[in-house]
Amino acid sequence: MSKTWPLWEVFVRARNGLSHKHVGSVHAADARMAIEAARDTYTRRMEGVSLWVVRSAEIVASDPGEAAALFEPAADKVYRHPTFYTIPENVKNI
């Protein structure tokens, strides 16, 4: 049995309307402790209305080595951008 406390990543929503943002991590033995540690560490100055904590081991991250395959193709697919289409000046609301 491990005696160490696992690492949890912390996400804070600063205000309603914004998304949760990653702010760092804490060690905690269980989920409730993780929430409290996250609150005491990352929201001491009223910086949040909502907290998510996720065990670091549960996070799946893209591989930076695959960045080209995953992300670059979008750069030359210009037809996803609205500016690709020319709309005459006299046509409004589009």
Which parts of this chain interact with another protein (CB under 8 A)? 1-5, 7, 23-30, 32-33, 36-37, 40-41, 44-45, 61, 63-65
Diameter of the chain measured on Cα atoms? 72
Q: Which is nearer to another protein, 68 or 87 (CB)?
A: 68
- Contacting residues for 66 by C-beta, under 8 A, at least 6 apart: none
**Shortest CB 3 distance to another protein, Å:** 5
**Shortest CB 77 distance to another protein, Å:** 24
**Shortest CB 15 distance to another protein, Å:** 17
Q: Which is nearer to another protein, 45 or 92 (CB)?
A: 45
Q: Which is nearer to another protein, 5 or 52 (CB)?
A: 5
Handedness of CA 31, 37, 42, 44 (dihedral sign): positive
Q: Count other C-beta atoms under 10 Å from residue 37's C-beta.
A: 19
Chain CA centroid to CA 62, Å? 13
